[in-house]
Amino acid sequence: MSVKQKKLIYNLVTIGLVAAAWLIFTLLLNHDAGVPRKERILSSSMKDQLIPICCWIVMAVSLNLVVGISGELSLGHAGFMSIGAFTGIVVSGWLLNGFAVEDATLRLVLAMVAGGLTAGIAGVLIGIPVLRLRGDYLAIVTLAFGEIIKNVLNCVYVAADGRHLNLGFINNNIAGTMLLNGPNGAKVKTIATVNAGFILVLITLVIVLNLINSRSGRAIMAVRDNRIAAESMGVPVTKYKMMAFVTAATLAGMAGALYGLNFATLLPTKFSFNESINVLVFVVLGGIGNILGSVISATALTILPEKLRFLQNYRMLVYAVVLIVVMLATNNRTIRAWFNTLSERLRPGKREEAKSHE
Amino acid sequence: MSEQKRRSQTRMVPVPSESIVPERDLGKPPVLETHHLGIEFGGLKAVDDFNLTIGRTEIAGLIGPNGAGKTTVFNLLTKVYEPTQGTVMINGRDTKGMNITQASQLGVARTFQNIRLFSQMTVEENVRIGLHNQIKYDMFTGILRLPRYWKQERKQHTEALELLSIFDMQDLADVKAGSLPYGAQRRLEIVRALATNPCLLLLDEPAAGMNPHETSELMENIAKIRDRFQIAILLIEHDMSLVMGVCEGICVLNFGKVIAKGTADEIQNNPVVIEAYLGKRKEG
C-alpha cells in the first residue's frame, strides 16, 4: 500500500468515525426523546456531555495543528477558546435583544462565526510577537497570553441597550441588559445543539486534514522538520507558522462559542491554564501530529472523569494514574508489539502482507 | 575519461574582478559576483576579502583545508549570515539586507554539509517543498479542494518524479526521506535544490561518505545537471578526484582568504596550495 493510499484511508477513517458517531447519537437521541426516563439508552449525564466532547475534540485537533504539525508548543490555547466563547455569548445576546432574532440556529451560526473571527484576529495579534520566539520561550509566552486573556475578560462588562452595545472595562455602571458581567461571568440563553457540535467537528477535520495534505501543509511541516532547509527552499517561515497558529485559534474560537452557549452561566476563570494543559494532554496522549488520536483521546478523557465520579475525592488521582499508565503503555515496546499482533489477528487477510513487508 | 576531456576543452579567461570564467560564458552576465566579501565573528575574520565571479554555466570548485571558511562562504552567499564587508551580487542584483528565503527566490539553491532533509516526510514531498515557489496554489484552494488544487497537485507530482529520475530515484518517491541510505539522502538534497529552479546551485561536500563508484557516478551527474539545466554549480569538496575531474575553475581558501584561483592544472601545481595542504618543506 502506498503512502498516499494510507493517508487517504486514515483521513476517511477519521472523518467516517465522527460521521458514524453523529448518526448513532442522532438515532439514540431520537429514540430517547419519546420514551420515559427508565427506558432511555443514553444517561442524562452522557447526553449533557455530547456538546462539550465535540468542543474538546475541536480544541484538541486544532492544538494538534500547532503542536504536532507546526511543531510549536503552545500553552495558551484555552485563551482563544475563551475569546470565542464570550464573543459568541455577546453576539447571540445582542442579536436577541437588539435585533429580535428569534431563530436560535441562525444566532448560533452567527455567534460561532463571530467567535472564530475574533479568536482568529487575536491569533494574528498574539502570533506576531510570539512566533518570533522558539521552543520553551514560545511556550512560556503563549502561557502568559492565555492568562492575560483570562484576566482581561474578567474585567469586561458588555450590555445591550437596544441595538447599541455598551462596553465597560472594570466599570460596571453601563446601561442596558447585561451580557457579560465581569468576574460574575455571563448568564446565557443556551442554544448549542448536538448537531452543531458534530458539524463543527467535521468542518474542523476537513479543514485540518485538507490543510495537512496540501502545499501549505507540507510547507508547515517542512518548517517543523528543518527550519533552515525550508528557508533555503524559499518557504517563508513566518507566514506558514502564522497560518497554522491563526487557523488553530479560529477553530478554537468557534469551539469556544459553541461551548459558551451550552451552559447557563459561564465564568471567565473557567478557561484557565488548567484547561490549556488539559487540551495538551489530549494531544500528547492521542499522539503528537496524529489527528485521529486527538479525536479519540479528547473523547475518552472527557468521559473518563465523569465515569470516575463514584470514586469521589479520589477521582482526579485515579485520572492521573490512568494517564501515566497509558503514556507508559503506549511507549512500551512489548505492549506495542502485543497491540500489533492483536490488530493483525483481527485482520487475517492482512497477515501475509505484513509478514512479507518485514 | 570523457569528463577530463571536456574540462581540457574549456578555456578559462580572466575577468576584471580578479577571477576567471569559462570562455563560453564571457558574453553573458555572471550568475554570481562577490566583491571584497568578508565576515567577522567577534573580531575573528572567518572570511576576508573574498572575490569570486562565476559564469552562467560554469562548474566551479571551492576547496581548502578544514576550517578554511568554505561553508561560511556558502552561508554568506545564501544569506544565512549577513556579511560585515563587501557585497554579493546574484544575477546582477545586490543581496544586501535580504533573508534566506529572498535569496532562494533570486535563484540560489544549496545542499548542506550535514544533511538537512525533511526526514519525517516522503522523498516526493521533499521535492515538492523544493517546488513550493514553482507550482503554486493558496491555502483556501487546498482546503476547499478546488479544481486548481487537483491540477497543481498533479503538476507537482509529475514534475517531482521527473526531477527524481535524474538520479533514478523515482521508485523511492513514497519512502520516508529519513530512512534512505546516506548516499541517496545526498542525492535527494540535490534534487530538492534543483526543484527550486535555481540559476546557481551550491553543493556542500556532495561526495562526503560516498564510495569511489558513487563518487564517479556523482561526477557524471553534476556535469549532466549543468548541461541539462544550463545552470552554474559551485561545490565544496574534499575529494580531489571529483574536484579536479569536474570543476572548470577552482578557488582555494585558507584561513578565510583566497590563496589561489585557476584551472585544475594550475591549482595542482601551485606551491602556495601545496603548502596550505601539506605544510612547508623543511629547508636543508
Q: Do B120 and A217 touch (CB under 8 A)?
A: no
Interface test with A, best of B100, B108, B189 (most A CBs within 10 A): B100
Among B118, B132, B139, whose Cβ lies nearest the Cβ of A243?
Answer: B139
Tell me the chain A residues in contact with residue B141 when contact means C-beta distances shorter than 8 Å: 214
Q: Give the DSSP letter string of chain B.
A: -HHHHHHHHPPEEEETTTEEEEGGGTTSPPSEEEEEEEEEETTEEEEEEEEEEE-TT-EEEEE-STTSSHHHHHHHHTTSS--SEEEEEETTEE-TT--HHHHHHHTEEE--SS----TTSBHHHHHHHHTTTTS---HHHHHHT-HHHHHHHHHHHHHHHHHHGGGT-GGGTTSBGGGS-HHHHHHHHHHHHHHT--SEEEEESTTTT--HHHHHHHHHHHHHHHHHH--EEEEE-S-HHHHHHH-SEEEEEETTEEEEEE-HHHHHT-HHHHHHHH-PPPP-
Q: Searching chain A, which residue's CA lies closest to the CA of residue B120?
A: A225
Which residues in chain A are closer than 8 Å to B145, comparing Cβ atoms? 210
Residue A356 is predicted with a pLDDT of 46
Q: Is B133 in contact with A218 (Cβ distance < 8 A)?
A: no
Question: A315, A288, A290: which is closest to A304 by C-alpha?
Answer: A315
Whole-number pLDDT of residue B233: 95
Q: Is residue A293 part of a domain?
A: no
- In this prediction, residues B187-208 reach a mean pLDDT of 94
CA distance to A217, B206, B241, per residue, from B267 (Å): 48, 21, 13
CB-CB under 8 Å, B143 with A206: yes
Pairwise CB contact (< 8 Å): B80 & A228: yes
Residue with cell 486527538: A294
Secondary structure (DSSP) of B252-269: EEETTEEEEEE-HHHHHT
Tell me the three cell numbers of residue B51. Answer: 572575490
- Domains identified in chain B and CATH numbers: 1-107+198-284 (3.40.50.300), 116-196 (no CATH)
In a domain, A249, yes or no: yes
Query: What is the average pLDDT across B71-95?
Result: 92
CA distance A314 to chain B (A): 41
| Per-residue exposure over B218-230, b if at least 16 CB sit within 10 Å of its own CB, e if not | bbebbbebbeebe
pLDDT on residue B29: 86
- pLDDT above 80 (res B8): no
Name residues 230-249 of chain A within 8 A of B (Cβ).
Answer: 230-237, 243
Measured in angstroms, the CA of B101 and the nearest CA of chain A are apart by 4
Residue B250 reports pLDDT greater than 60: yes
Q: Could you tell me which of A161, A160, A206 has the C-alpha nearest to residue A186?
A: A160
Q: Output the CA torsion sign for B224, B225, B226, B228.
A: positive
Contact present, A260 and A119 (Cβ < 8 Å): no
pLDDT at position A347 is 62
**How many C-beta neighbours within 10 Å does residue A228 have?**
16
Q: Residue A326: its pLDDT value, please?
A: 82
Task: Give me chain B's average pLDDT, please.
Answer: 89
B120 touches A at CB < 8 Å: yes
Say if A311 falls within a structural domain.
no
Number of cross-chain residue pairs from A and B with Cβ atoms under 8 Å apart: 96
The count of C-alpha atoms lying within 13 angstroms of the C-alpha of B47, restricted to the half-sphere facing its C-beta, is 28
Looking at the partner chain, which of B116, B135, B149 has a beta carbon nearest the beta carbon of A214? B149
Residue matched to cell numbers 507540507: A218
Task: Report, as ranges of residue numbers, the positions in chain A whose pLDDT lies below 70.
Answer: 1, 346-358
Region class of B43: left (phi > 0), else alpha (psi between -120 and 50), else beta: left
pLDDT-derived band at B188 (thresholds 50, 70, 90) equals very high
Which neighbouring-strand residues pair with B22? B12
The pLDDT assigned to B140 comes to 93
Mutate to test the interface with A, among B77, B129, B179 (most CBs of A within 10 A): B129
Cβ distance of A229 and B152 shorter than 8 Å: no
CA dist list (Å): B108 to A239, B93, B136, B192, B232: 21, 12, 19, 12, 10
Contacts of B167 (CB under 8 A, 6+ apart): B184, B187, B188, B190, B191, B221
The total number of structural domains in chain A stands at 1
State the CB neighbour count (10 A cutoff) for residue A13. 11
* pLDDT value at residue A355: 46
Flag whether A333 is in a domain. no
**Chain B: closest CA distance from residue A39 (Å):** 43
Read off the pLDDT of each residue in B18-45 and give the average, rounded to a whole number: 86
Tell me what pLDDT residue A215 has. 95
Cell of A91: 453576539
Of the candidates A316, A334, A131, A300, the residue with the CA atom closest to the CA atom of residue A227: A131
Contact call for A234 and B137, based on CB within 8 A: no
**What is the predicted ipTM?**
0.88
What pLDDT score was predicted for residue B6? 52
Residues 45-84 of B with CB under 8 A from A: 78, 80
Nearest chain B residue to A236 by CA distance is B101
pLDDT score for A350: 47
Q: At what angle do helices A194-212 and A104-130 cross, to 10 degrees?
A: 40
A77-122 pLDDT, tens digit each: 999 999 999 999 999 999 998 888 888 999 999 999 999 999 999 9
B141 to chain A, minimum CA–CA distance in Å? 9
Name the residue of chain B whose CA is nearest to A7's CA: B174
Q: Parallel, antiparallel, or unpaired: how do β-strands B93-94 and B85-90 relate? A: antiparallel
Per residue in B107-151, pLDDT (tens digit) is: 999 999 999 999 989 999 999 999 999 999 999 999 999 999 999
CA end-to-end span of chain B: 40
Cβ contact B53:B19 at 8 Å: yes
Instruction: Choose from A233, A241, A242, A251 for mutation: most chain B CBs within 10 A.
Output: A233
User: Which of A1, A232, A243, A247 has the highest number of chain B CBs within 10 A, making it the mutation to test binding with B?
Assistant: A232
Q: What pLDDT is recorded for position A348?
A: 54
Binary contact (A225, B120; C-beta < 8 A)? yes
Chain center to CA of A318: 24
Do residues A165 and A94 make contact, with C-beta atoms less than 8 angstroms apart?
Answer: yes
pLDDT digits (tens, 9 = 90+) for A12-63: 999 999 999 999 999 999 888 878 888 888 888 888 899 999 999 999 999 9
Ranges of beta strands (E only) in A183-245 are 186-187
- Residue B246, CA atoms < 13 Å, CB-side half-sphere: 32
Stated as kind and residue range, the H or E segment containing B233 is strand B232-236
Average pLDDT over residues B229-242: 92
Enumerate residues 6+ apart whose C-beta is below 8 A from B19: B51, B52, B53, B54, B249, B251, B261
A339 domain residue, yes or no: no
Which residue type, as a one-letter code, is found at position B205? E
Distance CA B265, CA B146 (A): 58
Residue A266: inside a domain: yes
- Which is more confident, B14 or A235? A235
Intra-chain end-to-end CA distance of chain A, in Å:
14
- Asked whether the beta carbons of residue A233 and residue B105 sit closer than 8 angstroms, the reply is no
Question: Over 50: is that where the pLDDT of B258 sits?
Answer: yes
**B142–chain A Cβ distance below 8 A for any pair:** yes
How far apart are the CA of A220 and the nearest CA of chain B, in angstroms? Answer: 10
Is the residue at A256 inside a domain? yes
Residues B185-203, mean pLDDT to the nearest whole number: 94
Q: Among B112, B118, B139, select the one facing A211 at the smallest CB separation.
A: B139
pLDDT at residue A185 in the model? 87
Distance of residue A86 Cα from the nearest chain B Cα, in angstroms = 27
- Beta-bridge partners for B21: B13
- State residue A331 phi and psi, 5-degree precision: -100, 0
Q: How confident is the model at residue B39 (pLDDT cuts 50, 70, 90)?
A: very high
Following DSSP, what letter does each residue of B138-165 receive, concatenated? Answer: -HHHHHHT-HHHHHHHHHHHHHHHHHHG
A164 occurs within a structural domain: yes
Residues of B with CB below 8 A from A231's CB?
99-101, 104
Q: Give A204→chain B minimum CA distance, Å.
A: 11
Pairwise CB contact (< 8 Å): B118 & A207:
no
pLDDT at A201: 97
The whole domain housing A105 covers 3-35+42-272
Which pLDDT band holds residue B26 (cuts at 50, 70, 90)? confident
Chain B residues in contact with A2 by the CB 8 A cut-off are 174
